[in-house]
């Protein structure tokens, strides 16, 4: 049996006694569905950190497909996660990854729309995003009820994470940077998790707690920093349309939060927003 060692684990990774089975397997990622309905994802070393991701120390030639089959059982006991008959992951020395979105700089936020629209329009898949989202400018109107406006996008599009959901997650992330908007759609996000695919529903659930994958956190944190605008955007490398849909959603959500701050007055206290970690307790440690 091959033993891998986990390097990092996300804030939504449960570390108590768990059981489940393999949901889906790819070269770089293995998705585990637990008995309580939640999910974990095992990732190679070259996979981005995220709320429910355990990143393992591997070389680039490693493939989960060589060791794991769909529907095999998994169990976590005393810091060791066993998957099927051929693989186990040691989490006892893994480092918690808990990076969250920083509060936007209240004193100076540049006009981002035109800058990033040029970047997005250069992506071949962006036209499909616009076609699915349909006139995203309406989300910026003051009279817009966001849950009602976003509801038709839930589960819209093919794949494990539909394009409509990717855009919604991005909107939530952009709003997270502004204290006056960060909780506005949290309850709604949790209310629609069962209206889309299982994996996408978990992503919406994570977003309701303010937790997002590492490329989203980096992108939103850079939105209030002009010096970062000319640098490559790792978020755009994800999937066919997922990355560009999330990035566009981030831009829209960030502007929504900016508009609300201008209307209600920005809270300038502190520099970051810390979110709760639902699975954390002193008894649920990896070591």
232 shares a domain with 158: yes
- Which pLDDT score, from 0 to 100, does residue 62 have? 96
Domain termination site, one of 63, 96, 129: 96
User: For residue 192, is it within any domain?
Assistant: yes
Query: Would the pTM of this model clear 0.75, i.e. be above it?
Result: yes
pLDDT at 227 over 80: no
211 shares a domain with 135: yes
pLDDT at 90 over 90: yes
250 shares a domain with 129: yes
pLDDT in tens, 6-55: 999 999 998 788 999 999 999 999 999 999 888 999 999 999 999 999 99
pLDDT at 277 over 60: no
Tell me whether residue 87 is exposed, middle or buried, using C-beta atoms within 10 angstroms of its C-beta: 0 to 12, 13 to 18, 19 or more: buried
Please tell me the total count of domains within the chain.
Answer: 2
Task: Tell me the residue range of the domain where 58 lies.
Answer: 2-96
Task: Centre a 10 Å sphere on the Cβ of residue 9 and count the other Cβ atoms it contains.
Answer: 23
227 shares a domain with 171: yes
256 shares a domain with 134: yes
124 shares a domain with 75: no
122 shares a domain with 89: no
pLDDT at 176 over 60: yes
């Amino acid at each position: 049996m091959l033993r891998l060692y986990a390097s990092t684990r996300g804030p939504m990774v449960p570390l108590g006694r768990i059981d489940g089975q393999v949901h889906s397997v790819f070269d770089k990622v293995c998705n585990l569905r637990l008995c309580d309905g939640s999910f974990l994802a095992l990732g190679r070393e070259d996979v981005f950190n995220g709320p429910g991701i355990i990143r393992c120390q591997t070389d680039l030639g490693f493939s989960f497909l060589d060791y794991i089959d769909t529907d095999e059982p998994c169990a976590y006991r005393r810091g060791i996660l066993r998957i099927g008959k051929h693989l186990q992951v040691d989490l006892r020395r893994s480092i918690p990854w808990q990076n969250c979105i920083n509060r936007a700089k209240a004193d100076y936020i540049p006009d981002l729309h035109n800058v990033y629209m040029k970047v997005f329009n250069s992506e071949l898949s962006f036209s499909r995003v616009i076609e699915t989202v349909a006139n995203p400018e309406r989300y910026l109107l003051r009279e817009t009820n966001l849950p009602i406006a976003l509801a038709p996008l839930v589960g819209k599009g093919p794949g494990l994470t539909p394009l409509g959901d990717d855009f919604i997650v991005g909107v939530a992330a952009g709003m997270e940077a502004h204290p006056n908007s960060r909780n506005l759609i949290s309850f709604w996000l949790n209310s629609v998790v069962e209206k889309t695919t299982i994996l996408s529903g978990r992503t919406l659930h994570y977003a309701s707690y303010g937790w997002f994958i590492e490329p989203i956190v980096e992108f939103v944190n850079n939105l209030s920093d002009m010096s970062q605008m000319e640098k490559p955007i790792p978020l755009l490398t994800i999937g066919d349309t997922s990355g560009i849909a999330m990035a566009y959603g981030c831009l829209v959500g960030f502007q929504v939060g900016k508009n609300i701050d201008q209307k209600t007055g920005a809270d300038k206290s502190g520099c970051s927003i810390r979110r709760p970690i639902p699975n954390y307790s002193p008894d649920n440690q990896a070591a």
